[in-house]
Structures are given as C-alpha cells and as structure tokens.
Amino acid sequence: MQKRKGSDFAGVGVAIVTPFKDGVLDVAKLKEQIEFQIGSGTTFLVPVGTTGESPTLTHDEHERVISEVVQLAAGRCKVMAGTGSNCTAEALRLTRWAAKAGADASLQVAPYYNKPTQKGFYEHFKAIAEEVGIPHCVYNIPGRSAKNIEPETIARLSELPNITMVKEATGSLDQCSQILNTTNLTVLSGDDSLTLPMMSIGAEGVISVAGNIVPKDLLAMVRAALAGQFEEAARLHHKLFPLCRDMLSLATNPIPVKGAMKLLGRDTGELRLPMTELEPKEFDALRATLTKYGLL
C-alpha cells in the first residue's frame, strides 16, 4: 500500500471532552483525561472539537484548552487542535494560535451555517493551509455543517502540501472510496461504528468519541485492521458497536459520552446550554450498555 500524506496520524485520535465544574474549565479533570489517554496508547488527542463543546467555549477558553492539552501531553502524544470556523479569518487566528502553542496538526471543520460554494470551501482551506505550516485535517460532516465538501473539491485540496488528512463523516463509503482513489490523503473515520468498514477500503484510523471511554479496545481494532487481521478486527467491531451506537443515537454528541463518563466517575457530566443531560430513561439505557460491556 502506498504511504499517504498523513500516515503519521494513522491509528486512534480521541476527540476529548472538555470537563467543566460549576460552569468553568476543570483543568485537574482535563489532566486526568490526558494521562488516561496517554497511558492507553492513544495515537493523538483532539481537543476542542465538537465533542469538546467548542461552540460554547469563549475564544479565551478555546485557546486555553489547546494550550493546556499541548502542555499536559508534553510531547508524549500528538495533538490535533480543533481550530475550524465558518469565518476564515477566525479559523486562521485560532490555527495560528494552535501552531504557536505547539499543536502538531489542526482539525478544520467545514464552514457551517453559511454554506459556501465548492469554490468557497476550496479558498477557505487553501488560505489556512498556505498561512499556517502544520498538517491540516479537513473535517467533512454535512450532517452538522449543512453542506458536503464534494470529493472533487477534496481532490483539489489534496494538491496543497499542508492538507494531509480528511476526517470523513459523511457516512458514505462511496465518497470515502472516491477520496482514496483520487488523492494521497490519509482518511480517518469520523464515525466510530464505520471505522472498520472504512478501513477495509483503505482508511487508516478514526477520530473517536467512544475513545474517551474505551481507547484500548479501539486501538486494538484499528491495529488489527492495519495489520490485515480482519477477523480479529471484526470481533472487536461487534463488541464495540453497541457502545458506539449509544454515543450517537441516545442524544446529540457529546451528551451521551459525558453521561457515560459521569457514570464511570471520570467526569462531572456537566454540559453547557444548549446541551442538556440525558433523560432518566436514556441514562438507564446507557447504564445497561456499559454494564453489558463490562465497564460497570
């Protein structure tokens, strides 16, 4: 298999939650999370993505979380900072900050709500890639951003040296195949439950939500798939599937994962409005899944 541009990020990235206590960032709990992930062998950390509640963080908090994670990781684990925005100038500002703070790469979500044309998508990512000299991962998630970055646009972006990865969260294996056929980008799954199907056609890992809870099992599955051990990878996929399903089906991410971490005593479970806690019946369903998995 040919070596792809972002293959040094092949494996499991964890989109870490942002812990709050009484409405403010809980740095002590963040440190516990970082140590847990590094101890588990996680390939890279992704602070202030959707799972990190980036839409409700202030600019100062966004920058602080990135800086804290870089400092706490202390070179023991790569950091891919979430610095995307629907405003190109704001994405540039945040990405410059992340690079200066020592982030190894940036995660650039598709501009949301304002729904750019394909030319607008291209010019947005091109401006960031040419201005900030760290690897960038284009994050395509039309279910949240309201518009797909078409494979032809991603192919054009792949010609830019600093665009090295795609976090593919369209849910379409055909789109994933087209990207792999037409670019030399490393493709990372944006959906835990689709990681193995995507790896079967050439993706190289995942940026995971469930990895907040069970990073070792996800790593085992991804490593098995990378080694071509698909029978073992499939076994782990089916073990993980109910947990991965709950992370997205019980409520909007990151509500379920914060609920799970609360049940496991690893987070307060505190969210910021407009995110709200799981309803009692949803907590019961999540508790049952965690119990069956062997976590409770």
Q: Are 254 and 213 in contact (CB under 8 A)?
A: no
Looking at the structure of the chain, the number of domains it has is 1
> Is residue 215 assigned to a domain?
yes
Locus of tokens 């070596």: 3
> Is residue 218 assigned to a domain?
yes
Over residues 211-270, the pLDDT tens digits come to 999 999 999 999 999 999 999 999 999 999 999 999 999 999 999 999 999 999 999 999
CA angle, 266 then 58 then 109, to 5°? 80
In 190-262, at which residue ranges do the beta strands (DSSP E only) sit? 205-208
Q: Which amino acid is at 70?
A: V
| Angle of the 27-40 helix axis to the 59-73 helix axis, nearest 10 | 40
> Is residue 68 assigned to a domain?
yes
Distance (Å, whole) CA 257 – CA 254: 5
Nearest to 206 by CA among 220, 218, 224, 214: 218
Structural domain including 215 reads 7-227
> Is residue 263 assigned to a domain?
no
Distance (Å, whole) CA 213 – CA 135: 27
> Is residue 41 assigned to a domain?
yes
> Is residue 245 assigned to a domain?
no
> Is residue 253 assigned to a domain?
no
Over residues 45-65, the pLDDT tens digits come to 999 999 999 999 999 999 999
Known catalytic residue: 293? Answer: no
Choose, from 29, 78, 122, 139, the residue flagged as catalytic.
Answer: 139
The pLDDT profile of the chain, 296 residues, written as one tens digit per residue, is: 678 999 999 999 999 999 999 999 999 999 999 999 999 999 999 999 999 999 999 999 999 999 999 999 999 999 999 999 999 999 999 999 999 999 999 999 999 999 999 999 999 999 999 999 999 999 999 999 999 999 999 999 999 999 999 999 999 999 999 999 999 999 999 999 999 999 999 999 999 999 999 999 999 999 999 999 999 999 999 999 999 999 999 999 999 999 999 999 999 999 999 999 999 999 999 999 999 999 99
Known catalytic residue: 139? Answer: yes
Choose, from 29, 78, 167, 258, the residue flagged as catalytic.
Answer: 167
> Is residue 32 assigned to a domain?
yes
Identify the pLDDT of residue 1: 60
Which CATH number does the domain housing residue 89 bear? 3.20.20.70
